[in-house]
Structure 1
Amino acid sequence: MSALDRRRFLKTVATAVPAVAAGNAAACATGGISAPAHLDDRTLLALGETVLPDELGSGGIQRAVRGFQTWLAGYRPAVEVTHGYGTGNLDYTPANPGPGWAAQLEVLNLEAEERFGAAFAALSKEQRTEMIRRQLARERADRLPDPAQARNVALGLLGYWVQTPEAVNLCYQARIDPLTCRPLAAQAEKPGPTSGS
């Protein structure tokens, strides 16, 4: 490398380092990740009322939708996840599904306005169900995906909810409460009934 090339290299590096450092400081201040897309609360609640089981009641549906919003707000893409048993291959969380889901909720509102002259949340449950079925007919889903991998917001919400303790309890009509620890003395006992059964 000649002296001129070395000089040009050092000048370039000298100007680039402060710029990179300033960029990194800004990224650190925001956590290095763009703000997650916020899903419209009213439309998402109407979607939850449409796709989640009626047995949850209004309070259960609201809890599920709030939990889904909280999960999405805390979601971080490209985070290393635990590798499977017997393999050394590392996997990473997929891209943030929030922006796509926010757009889908907007499309539901636009379609509802166009077809029925009202926002999606103002439609009857039958009208909303018909709209969701039309959307899901385009999906190739043979099972509920992990919420982060769901291409459709309705499948994401359902995929999130079925992983909750409330879903397991409802399914078995027993207070199983997975992911919680029962006292050791109660391990031999059958789980008690849910409060609604």
Structure 2
Amino acid sequence: MTTRRNFLKTASALTAGAATVGTVATACAVKDPTASNSTGQDNSDERLRGFDRVLLDAVATAVLPASLGAPAIRTATDAFVAWADGYEPVAEEMHGYGYADIRYLPADPSPAWRAQLTALDLLAHKHGTAGFSTLPLAKRQELLDAVLRNQRGDRLPTPLSASHIAIALLAHWSSSPDAWDRALGARVAPGVCRTLGDATRKPLPVTSISNPTATTEPRA
């Protein structure tokens, strides 16, 4: 009985003459700009990046904690965009403990998230307004509450598994060093490499909760 790993190696060797694959995270180069895959995404090397920042910023101020303050909310939104733009769809995951099979990251979630931003704007127009970004904060939160009403769960998902961009944005910030520092009330900067000399030092307190100096790091 062949193993899954041997099967994947054999399949890769059989298809090597039909397509050139640089890395597991890079799709085959397709020069025809009209070609698309089964998900409707463009198969070319270039993919659409970025979001409508007016709409995204309007969502960010509605879902991220108001205690962050405008500069920190902007920083968190910038980090989310950088992470989404730098994400490599279907990249090979790091091998974890307890399994030996090859696993891959999900497809690019950004197209669906961009469509959801557009849908929020269209929904606001249908309610007789000039658009989602023009609504007062309370109205934006009310509209988002209606859109996300059927979302269930006792905790935030990972950003990649979030079903809506509002949840993805909040989940991305909540896993950042800034969020952990605020939750613990000290600058522990989890996930950030520190020198050995800092290992025995007591973490500094978060002195200004409304204007922190800590920033978020985009991660795939």
1:53-96 per-residue CA deviation (whole Å, 9 max, x = no partner) reads 11211010101111111111111111110132021122211011
By how many angstroms is 1:137 displaced?
A: 1.2
Instruction: Tell which has more relative contact order, 1 or 2 (C-alpha 8 A, sep 6+).
Output: 2
Alignment of structure 1 residues 160-175 onto 2, 5 Å: 160-175=172-187
By how many angstroms is 1:25 displaced?
A: 7.3
Which residue of 139, 146, 154 maps to 1:134? Answer: 146
CA distance in 2, matches of 1:124, 1:86: 49
**Which residue of the partner structure matches residue 82 of structure 1?**
94
By how many angstroms is 1:185 displaced?
A: 3.1
Alignment-mate amino acid for residue 146 of structure 2: R
Which residue of 103, 107, 130 maps to 2:119? Answer: 107
Larger relative helix fraction:
1
Tell me, which stretches of 5 or more residues in structure 2 are unaligned?
1-16, 21-27, 33-41, 210-220
**Which residue of the partner structure matches residue 164 of structure 2?**
152
CA distance in 2, matches of 1:36, 1:148: 17
The answer (yes or no) to whether the contact 1:37–1:102 under 8 Å persists in 2 is: no
For the aligned residue pairs, the C-alpha RMSD in angstroms reads 2.5
TM normalised by structure 1 equals: 0.80
How many pairs align?
177
CA distance in 2, matches of 1:20, 1:97: 25
Alignment of structure 1 residues 1-197 onto 2, 5 Å: 24=29, 26=31, 32-197=44-209
Tell me: CA distance 1:96–1:38, structure 2 relative to 1, closer, same or farther (3 Å).
same
By how many angstroms is 1:31 displaced?
A: 9.6
The answer (yes or no) to whether the contact 1:148–1:156 under 8 Å persists in 2 is: yes
What SS does the corresponding residue of 2:148 show, helix, strand or coil? helix
**Which residue of the partner structure matches residue 5 of structure 1?**
none
Tell me, which stretches of 5 or more residues in structure 1 are unaligned?
1-16
The answer (yes or no) to whether the contact 1:174–1:191 under 8 Å persists in 2 is: yes
Tell me: CA distance 1:164–1:184, structure 2 relative to 1, closer, same or farther (3 Å).
same
By how many angstroms is 1:32 displaced?
A: 4.9
1:146-187 per-residue CA deviation (whole Å, 9 max, x = no partner) reads 111111101110111112111111111211111223332332
| More displaced stretch, 30-39 vs 56-65 | 30-39
